[in-house]
Structure 1
Amino acid sequence: MLLDTPVRLGVQLQPQHVSYAQLRDAVLRLEDAGVDILFNWDHFFPLSGDPDGLHFESWTMLGAWAEQTERVEFGALVNCNSYRNPDLQADMARTIDHISAKGGDTGRFIFGTGAGWFQRDYEEYGYDFGTPGSRLRDLSKGLERITKRWDELNPPPTRRIPILIGGSGEQKTLRLVARYADIWHSFVAPDHLAHKVAVIERWGEEDGHDTSGIVMSNELGRHDTAAADALFDAGVRLFTIGFRGPDYDYDLITRWLAWRDAKNGTA
């Protein structure tokens, strides 16, 4: 795993129970504050609180963020492979990548993806829910098509779009991480990370993929700095935190940015 990289802070703006004006304002404030990555999530209904409360769609929002922001990287944590044709996903990602490229720079889009799990999304929008195994098989096939399509699009992406894959299942998910991921995201505890990394490395060796450049990502959640320190010592370099509105706690982000800067020696 790649350890020689700065600590970064990603903030997942939950697209639920807020107006879009509030989300737009939060994006500006978080970029100005200095966060490294902005995420949303790819669902059609709230995941907590009123199940029929306000909610907005992921990819449309990401296109707006691409135009609205100037510096911050961004993406979904994570896209659901089941909801869109893989080749369409590749084209959407490439287009958002180009939208986000400002002043001749490369794009800032991160393609975070996963197999999907929220049954209500599937049932109400008419997708086949299948099984965890079938959804992971679809993800494997989808990633193959997505990466192939990126090589065929005209114009191509402005850069090799980073792929983030979430999950910790050792037989299927971590094999996909070894094969495709630039970032591996999980909720794995610090004392279990070394084992998971060894699994990823074994899959890489078996399938002929170099896994040394993968960045480990983990969720801060309600962790304190001691727990975050333990994750850092275990090799995590991207830390994400869910950010819930409408009463956004910007002081929380300021504290974690100070912790990030201390780790990077830039405080």
Structure 2
Amino acid sequence: MTVDRPVRIAVQLQPQHATYERIRDVAAELEDAGVDILFNWDHFFPLYGDPDGLHFESWTMLAALAEQTSRVEIGALVNCNSYRNAHLQADMARTIDHISAKGGTGRFIFGTGSGWFERDYDEYGYPFGTAGSRIDALGEALPAIEDRWSRLNPAPTRRIPVLIGGGGERKTLRLVAKHADIWHSFSDLPTLERKLGILAQHGEAVGRDVSGIEISTEVGKRTIADATALHEHGVTLFTLGAGGPDYAIPGLDEWLSWRDGLNS
């Protein structure tokens, strides 16, 4: 597959096991280092380590990062659709888009998914439902979000990119074909090849050429050789995970050099 968009490197700053001051400092360091995107995640409790350790909320942190930074794009990998009304999500996204613009074009990416972490639901009082009901709810929310963006005053500074995370072949990939600018998954190469074929079928069904969708994956446990093979099959957005308290990212310089070599 020929890929004509630039390779980008993102870091997911997991908002756990660290003070906010530390997260803020690491975000500045990563922007200075040349990372393209800073993600966090939308949970209420740590996913790794002490389950009751330090943890911060996603959207308020993204607004702060939008004000703090000037170059990197920002977003959640991914927002949980279940936790907020669709129209509120649209308004929050538009607001962060403007905060991040600073007189220019916004830098917010609306990364979203259907939700899965049951403790979040139970402790914060959201109905957990089923995997099917949650993805159906996401399917109902996305058109409402897009419609609200078209009616907000002021309007977003740009067409806010929509990233959809997940690999469900019947429902999720159909939503990707209809709504996404970026598709994120954790697929290995054979899985990616199969799912890209299914995504193309969904694109035909909904009347969209899906070749314009950016393909994204997580590479925290993968090598640059693995990433090179994925890039040859269409992946251009690669995300490294970083957790508190130290946020060490082994090999970040090598990943950035690899990106620069491909983009030169």
Same fold (TM over 0.5): yes
Residues 1-267 of structure 1: matches in 2 within 5 Å?
3-102=3-102, 104-250=103-249, 252-265=251-264
Displacement after TM superposition at 1:252 (Å): 2.5
**Residues 35-94 of structure 1 deviation map (CA, whole Å, 9 limit, x = unaligned):** 000000000000010000000000000000110000000100000000000000000000
**Residues 190-249 of structure 1 deviation map (CA, whole Å, 9 limit, x = unaligned):** 122222111111111111123121000011021111111111111100000101222232
* Rounded Cα–Cα distance in structure 2 between residues aligned with 1:251 and 1:195: 31
**Residues 107-148 of structure 1 deviation map (CA, whole Å, 9 limit, x = unaligned):** 000000000000000000000000000000000001011001
Which secondary structure state, in structure 2, belongs to the residue aligned with residue 111 of structure 1?
strand
**Residues 128-169 of structure 1 deviation map (CA, whole Å, 9 limit, x = unaligned):** 000000000000001011001000111110000000001111
- Give RMSD over aligned pairs: 1.2
Letter in 2 for 1:235: G
Q: Is the 8 A contact 1:9 1:260 kept in 2?
A: yes
Displacement after TM superposition at 1:255 (Å): 1.8
Letter in 1 for 2:163: L
Structure 1 portions without partners, runs of 5+: none
Which secondary structure state, in structure 2, belongs to the residue aligned with residue 212 of structure 1?
helix
Change (3 A) 1:168 1:259: same
* Rounded Cα–Cα distance in structure 2 between residues aligned with 1:248 and 1:175: 35
Q: Is the 8 A contact 2:108 2:160 kept in 1?
A: yes
Identity %: 66
Q: Is the 8 A contact 1:2 1:212 kept in 2?
A: no
Letter in 2 for 1:120: R
Q: Is the 8 A contact 1:2 1:215 kept in 2?
A: no
Q: Is the 8 A contact 1:11 1:242 kept in 2?
A: yes
Displacement after TM superposition at 1:263 (Å): 1.6
* Rounded Cα–Cα distance in structure 2 between residues aligned with 1:151 and 1:212: 25
Displacement after TM superposition at 1:251 (Å): 5.0
Letter in 2 for 1:109: F
* Rounded Cα–Cα distance in structure 1 between residues aligned with 2:258 and 2:62: 27
Q: Is the 8 A contact 1:2 1:214 kept in 2?
A: no
* Rounded Cα–Cα distance in structure 2 between residues aligned with 1:99 and 1:171: 36
Q: Is the 8 A contact 2:241 2:249 kept in 1?
A: no
Change (3 A) 1:78 1:2: farther
Q: Is the 8 A contact 2:3 2:232 kept in 1?
A: no
* Rounded Cα–Cα distance in structure 2 between residues aligned with 1:211 and 1:4: 14
Q: Number of paired residues?
A: 264
Letter in 1 for 2:180: A
Length-normalised TM-score, structure 1: 0.96
* Rounded Cα–Cα distance in structure 2 between residues aligned with 1:2 and 1:54: 43
* Rounded Cα–Cα distance in structure 1 between residues aligned with 2:37 and 2:82: 24
